[in-house]
Structure 1
């Protein structure tokens, strides 16, 4: 067994000391100028750095309703295991990145507050958290490197120490204004707008001046060295800057408190009364703590949680910080900052902002980015799979479709009723999720989205659904698996006390949607059991062969040779229609469908490939449903609801159960449950038929 010393030695051997030294590099100001000449991107603004950080993770082209779009892989959060991955908000994230791109180009949005606006639980905080976390990691990489500096001081015992700039400024701020044009001309010579990013032209610029503390240090040394600026630089040590939210370096977060406890100094720093005695006056910058959120977030990003709940005094600071890139610490001149300002707010607070004429200046300085709820079912399912990524949750199984039906209900609550009377809300959900419906094209889906502008800005939050899934897991602690009905019941029970539902009509509508989802789940499991029963490969292949022979003869106006009698016969119209009707091919469309199948087979033949019914999803489904209809009576599925099952039936049921486990993700318990449930549906159907 390893001792503690062995464990420490084992872990120590994994250290990367060279990487540590690279991240803790320090050198002279001249060394830094060499770095800038070689890698100009180290001087980027905060907006440029955030934008490049997102691009550094790569992009991929996507198609949404015939429109090309870009998906940014950064928001998959792969570096941290996908815990904060964002699903289904491609349009929102594209809008956000375009605003950051504009700011990186200095087109004006760098002088705005980015306001993430949407309902509770729509991922606003997650987006802000990802940007902060991503920037922190990016600053540790070679591509994201940035630098700051400190002042050399002698201690009483004669040794040297360095006092860092309290706002982690860009070292080029040390260049006096009169020297800057000449220096920039040399630094940018021959770069032709060189390589910070492939996406925008980059040249070194120097924006802003020294903070009050560094200005004092600079002026003292200029006096000491009789105005020789080059000697002042001898007292400078430049070092690599690693941004860190925990260390309050380059990443700040501000959350409003109750009005009595709010103090604007939390944003811009405060006087250090202990040091006044040492320095003699409260206007000495050494007697000031530059530790407000705006100060510490310099060079990086600041997040304002529920920004519109801020007291008016704070909002004035916010206006100056966004528009002029300056803050006003108490007793000091305006101080330059360089940071991305991200706020988030919900719908009621934003409406208050719009109706408040005193807030006009803030409205004018914000760029609103709508962050709606997800309206695509597959994306909503992924949100829940992130929390319940294994179907085993503490030894308990989550049955197939459990997360899907919960997600289906959540998405339905967010959709607006279609204006097309022939389209149900559930069909709209399926269209949004990529399903095809007769008579609806991609253009129709685009129109549906455009006619429902507020879609996704109301409805049930994913948090509510996650809470109810957790409730179901706890409430059914003695059960080995949690099924869709357990979760749906929890969702319904919670509606009585849901604090965000303030209308009885809305509550009734949500209950009605639960009934719609239960009905849809019934159809899903019936279909799965049907397919499991009909999954006899040989029978399906024979049925497919007979169908294709008849279709081929029909489209080419030929006859079919009967394999048993050897006689030629007309194509089997009854067989063809009994299969086509299973996937809702009307009589008027049968010729088109049959020609489509033959064209498909012809195209395969030209490529030297053989036709396989499994390659055509619609045909496979039709064949399976036809075979199920022919076979279901031989299995006597309804006998499952009785206590006595004969040996022959039990063997057939075990085969079906095995297919459910193998092909559809069930385990022994959930497969038994779903077979019993579907059997009870058929039993009910038999009773109904018998009563007529």
Structure 2
């Protein structure tokens, strides 16, 4: 909700003058000094701790006011974690209390005369402007301190001139009524943190001439290595009861990691060409470095066989969007998709020793950091070997990174049946990227009609459904019932390179169709949505059969960007430009990034 604080306003005329706020030319007729013109104000005393204006109301009346307000809005009390006891039992900070009592005494207990000096203002949390949202760096700055008020004695009203008023300042003060984060908390000198033992428990901080009551959420960050070392110190037992440790592992869903890199890439591209999938492939490699090998013994007997064969790239795709490898049986596919959370939590309680330090070994504990990856992307953006910033510029930088074993801890983790093999992950990501861009290039070339794959799919499933049920199917082409074609089914299965039992494979497909129909009774069956991996493999088989034609067309595109363009016919140039237009409109390439990608695909036939 809205947040409010207040200031003390003292006018140029004496408080006893009587008519301040009531003159004919005054903008406000309430008697408040809050809206005085600047020239009519003698001084303004601000509250650094941002006390709530509610604390100006005497406690008994304040309690009645709040309870009356809640009676009018009973829905508020039903909200989770709704707490208003602070508003009833809270009080003014030290400086405000002294000013309040001095004014109350001067006006012989007339509270309305006191609040004439109050100027209420709304404030908003802002990290940029350090208003209720502050991050304290570990370099050892003083978190809070006092200094005498900077007003000259003549500018203060007479009733305040005999008082020792202090201003407080510092990160904790700026963060009050908000959030304070201690960045890299355990890198700070230990002595500078000990005041937090009292502050976190009592909500107060004692500084010279001042005892401040805080209303702030205290958080801190530290890496696991620092935490493990801290646990061995005598001070940890004192801090333990005052800390709630929250694990924040590296991201394990590469699409979320991609969002971080995408923002970073836009800053470093400097208006240059950026190929699609650049952030995606960098994020995928980063996630692969963080994964741990799943152990079949930690899972049910039904799930264990699928878990045992789960490669790092397959696990990353499963975590991100539930994709399961094409050659995994349907029952195991379902089990994997239903147990993603179990896989994610498998190593939550794992502990072990690494390089002499014992501690937690949960998944996401180790791996490349986003900061290192963003530095790598910035370096790749300066590589002019390519026409655009693309995964092709990222891969060479990754190859250099994995050689820096003395710098990066995650590179010293032993490989485990394919996991933690960071150099191999570069090849895995490159192969995955090749599959994606090959499909984009070939579809843009358009050697196969857009609806041809859909037609083959529909025919194939129509035939196996008819074959399994022992019934004829209705042919839209002939307008007759016909027997299913063994040749057509065998032809498609040959393109798909089915490695296990054909009858079992067909049965799995029909089971998936039935399950989809049951779960989505009101939606038409879209084969591409239900079987994306089969659809993709069928396309690749079609393209493999037309490899020589595709090679020729790709060469035309590469020649188009060189002096050899003049050797192309008008028809070939039109075909090239049509392909480039599709790549731009459908996939987001520009001419530079399209050229790099087509060259990459052509060199990896």
The normalised TM-score by structure 2 is 0.72
- Equivalent residue for 2:324, pick from 418, 422, 436: 436
Other structure's SS at 2:309 match: coil
Do 1:148 and 1:239's aligned partners in 2 also have CA atoms closer than 8 Å? Answer: yes
Q: Which has the higher contact order (CA 8 A, sep 6+)?
A: 1
> Following the alignment from structure 1 to structure 2, what is the Cα–Cα distance between the partners of residues 427 and 395?
35
The structure 2 residue matched to 1:240, chosen from 121, 146, 155, is 121
2:180 to 274, 281, 302: 302
* Equivalent in the alignment of 1:336: 213
CA drift at 1:368 = 2.0
The aligned counterpart of 1:119 is none
Corresponding residue for residue 230 of structure 1: 111
628-637 vs 449-458, which moves further: 628-637
* 1:410 pairs with 2:290: no
Query: Cα offset for 1:200?
Result: 4.2
Q: Would you say the 8 A contact 2:250–2:290 is kept in 1?
A: yes
Which of 176, 182, 187 aligns to 2:66? It is 187
Aligned twin of 2:351: none
- Following superposition of structure 1 onto structure 2, how do residues 89-168 of structure 1 map, counting pairs within 5 Å? 143-150=1-8, 152=10, 160-161=41-42, 162-168=44-50
Q: Which residue does 1:680 correspond to in 2? A: 603
Query: What CA distance in whole angstroms lies between the structure 1 residues aligned with 2:522 and 2:154?
Result: 90
Do residues 451 (structure 1) and 350 (structure 2) align?
A: no
Q: What is the CA–CA distance in structure 2 between the aligned matches of 1:273 and 1:457, rounded to whole Å?
A: 50
- Residue 375 of structure 2 is matched in structure 1 by 467
Distance 1:319 1:600, change over 3 A: closer
- 2:555 is matched with which residue: 640, 645, 649? 640
SS, match of residue 593 in structure 2: helix
Shift of 1:493: 1.9
1:624 aligns with 2:501: no
Structure 1 residues 190 and 668 mapped into 2: Cα distance closer, same or farther (>3 Å)? Answer: closer
Higher deviation after alignment, 505-514 or 355-364: 505-514
Distance in 2, matches of 1:209 and 1:668, equals 66
Specify whether residues 499 and 185 from structure 1 end up closer, same or farther in structure 2 by C-alpha distance, changes over 3 A only: farther
Q: Distance in 1 between matches of 2:540 and 2:477?
A: 26
CA 531–376 in structure 1, closer or farther in 2 if over 3 Å, else same = same
Aligned to 2:95: 213
For the 8 Å contact 2:9–2:119, the answer to whether it is kept is no
Residue of structure 2 equivalent to 1:110: none
1:352-431 alignment runs, 5 A limit: 352-389=229-266, 393-419=269-295, 420-431=307-318
| CA–CA separation in structure 2 for the residues paired with 1:287 and 1:564 | 94
* CA shift in 2, pair 1:653/1:560, >3 Å: farther
Q: 2: CA distance between counterparts of 1:553 and 1:247?
A: 70
Measured after TM superposition, the shift of residue 665 of structure 1 is 3.1
Partner of 1:169: 51
Q: What secondary structure does 1:414 align onto?
A: coil
1:431 CA displacement: 0.8
1:590 matched to 2:513: no
CA offsets 1:45-80 (integer angstroms, 9 cap, x no match):
xxxxxxxxxxxxxxxxxxxxxxxxxxxxxxxxxxxx
Aligned-partner Cα distance in 1 for 2:150–2:585: 72
Q: Deviations over 1:624-678 (max 9, x none)?
A: 3453344334545598399899868887776655544443333334334433333
For residues 605 and 344 of structure 1, the distance between their equivalents in structure 2, rounded to whole angstroms, comes to 45
In the alignment, the residues of structure 2 paired with residue 520 and residue 330 of structure 1 have an alpha-carbon distance, to the nearest angstrom, of: 63
Superposed displacement of residue 291, structure 1: 1.6
Name the CA distance, whole Å, in 2 between partners of 1:356 and 1:202: 37
Deviation at 1:430, TM superposition (A): 1.0
1:253 touches 1:304 (CA, 8 Å); kept in 2?
A: yes
Corresponding residue for 1:666? Answer: 589
| Alpha-carbon distance in structure 2 between the residues aligned to 1:621 and 1:248 | 52
Contact 1:579 1:622 survives alignment (8 Å): no
Q: How far did 1:425 drift? A: 0.9
Instruction: Give the equivalent residue in structure 1 for 2:434.
Output: 522
Shift of 1:429: 0.6
In the alignment, what sits opposite 2:491? 578
Equivalent residue runs for 1:267-278 within 5 Å:
267-270=144-147
Partners of 1:277 and 1:160 in 2: CA distance? 13
Q: Tell me which moved more, 452-461 or 315-324.
A: 315-324
SS in 2 for 1:491: helix
- Give the direction of change, closer, same or farther, for the CA distance of 1:670–1:517 in structure 2 (3 Å limit): same
Q: Conserved in 2, the CA contact under 8 Å of 1:268 and 1:328?
A: no
Aligned to 2:391: 484
Measured in 2, the distance between the counterparts of 1:375 and 1:220 equals 59
Gaps of 5+ in 2: 18-39, 296-306, 349-361, 416-420
- Name structure 1 gaps, 5 residues minimum: 1-142, 683-692
Q: Which residue of 1 aligns with 2:460?
A: 547
CA offsets 1:249-297 (integer angstroms, 9 cap, x no match): 5444433335xxx55xx41424569989999xxx986353312333333
CA distance, structure 1, for counterparts of residue 455 and residue 144 of structure 2: 76
Q: CA deviation at 1:330?
A: 0.8
The residue number in structure 2 matching 1:17 is none
For 1:165 and 1:199, the matched residues in 2 are separated by: 31
Taking a change above 3 Å as real, the CA distance of residues 638 and 147 of structure 1, as seen in their structure-2 partners, is closer
Taking the aligned partners of 2:155 and 2:522, their CA distance within structure 1 comes to 88
CA–CA distance in 2 between the matches of 1:424 and 1:671? 31
Moved more, 465-474 or 192-201: 192-201
Question: SS of the residue aligned with 2:597?
Answer: helix
CA RMSD of aligned residues (A): 4.4
Alpha-carbon deviations, 1:509-539, whole Å to 9, x = none? Answer: 3223222222322333344445555541354
Aligned length: 524
Deviates more, 1:412-421 or 1:149-158: 149-158
Distance 2:5 2:90 in 1: 16
How far 1:471 moved relative to its partner? 1.6
